[in-house]
Structure 1
Amino acid sequence: MPLQTHPDFVAIDLTLHVDGKEPQHIPIDGAESIYVQIPGGVKYRMTLRFKVKNRELSNLKYKQNVKKAGVTVRSREVDLGTREPSETEIYEQDFPEDETPGGWLMRGKYAATSYYSAGDEMLIVNDWTLEITA
């Protein structure tokens, strides 16, 4: 089943920047699913590329919840601002640096959910998989 879409907001892709590694591009728009693999105990940051179409979107936010066995282990929220519609402009938003948990107990697959909203309006909700590796 393809990821959820919205006529006014298009999440194009994420770029994962891990210290000491080549950037990893993770397609979102048109993808069937999202799978992200990150080594444990490393610092990383992400860059979201997105488009706004048809109308201005105010108070855009990205929220992410990561769960293991149904328990939330990490949550983050990033303000994407107010953006004007454009057929050609692609916006980029860098997320603050973060660090993956280390140790063999933290390795494995996690269920993650990304929420994209404009004010009180939920635009897109997509589930994906995060794997913490050695």
Structure 2
Amino acid sequence: MAEEEDFAPTQTTGYKVGEKKTIDEYKSLDANDESLNKWKASLASAPSNDKRRVVILQLALEVEGRDDVVLDLSSPEALQNVKNTPFVIKEGIDYRMKVKFKIQHEVVSGLKYLQIVKRKGIKVDKTEEMIGSYGPGDDHYEKKFMVEEAPSGIFARGHYEAKVSVGCK
């Protein structure tokens, strides 16, 4: 139950999720608007055997001066490998997370990134950031998040467990 509470999203100040519409509803809007028609033509749908609206392709840890630590999340097998592959970062370094994703089937509004970090079962950090609204298509999107500082000092050393959720209402 505590984990469900950890991942309960909060309201983002100043952001109002628009009315949900189907792709067909978007395609019928403002038929005389040339630029809007180009955007509507770019809306694509996904294979019918994949019901996901948001597909996370990779999550990466970006640290200045070194190669990114990239976690492949593009398939169930890759996701299982990530769960069994911890990585190490130096204490006190500045880092940022970034996510690469694609949208399928319908326009997604109010997409959020939520990260919970625990040490010995106790929550030590919660990061929540609005990603935005996106239409389905063949393009991949990448979102970089705020720079953070890794914990430092003798009491901060050890193993941490991070769980990430990317979703919308």
Match for residue 97 of structure 2?
46
Match for residue 155 of structure 2?
105
Going from structure 1 to structure 2, the CA distance change for 1:58 and 1:46 (only over 3 Å counts) comes to: same
SS in 1 for 2:160: strand
Q: How does 1:46-85 map to 2 (within 5 A)?
A: 46-85=97-136
Q: Which runs of 5+ in 1 are unaligned?
A: 120-134
Going from structure 1 to structure 2, the CA distance change for 1:6 and 1:97 (only over 3 Å counts) comes to: farther
Contact 1:12 1:28 in 2 (8 A): yes
Of all paired residues, the percent bearing the same amino acid is: 31
Considering only aligned residues, what root-mean-square deviation do their CA atoms show, in Å? 1.7
Match for residue 24 of structure 1?
69
Higher relative contact order (CA 8 A, sep 6+): 1
Greater Cα radius of gyration, structure 1 or 2: 2
Deviates more, 1:33-42 or 1:54-63: 33-42
Distance in 2 of aligned mates of 1:104 and 1:14? 28
Counterpart amino acid of residue 17 in structure 1: E
Going from structure 1 to structure 2, the CA distance change for 1:37 and 1:29 (only over 3 Å counts) comes to: farther
Deviates more, 1:74-83 or 1:31-40: 31-40
Distance in 2 of aligned mates of 1:113 and 1:15? 13
**1:47 offset after TM fit, Å?**
1.6
Structure number with the higher helix fraction is 2
- TM-score with structure 2 length normalisation? 0.62
SS in 2 for 1:105: coil
Counterpart amino acid of residue 147 in structure 2: E
**How many aligned residue pairs are there?**
114
Going from structure 1 to structure 2, the CA distance change for 1:56 and 1:36 (only over 3 Å counts) comes to: farther
Match for residue 58 of structure 2?
13
**1:6 offset after TM fit, Å?**
6.2
Match for residue 92 of structure 1?
142
Contact 2:92 2:150 in 1 (8 A): yes
- TM-score with structure 1 length normalisation? 0.77
**1:117 offset after TM fit, Å?**
1.8
Structure number with the higher strand fraction is 1
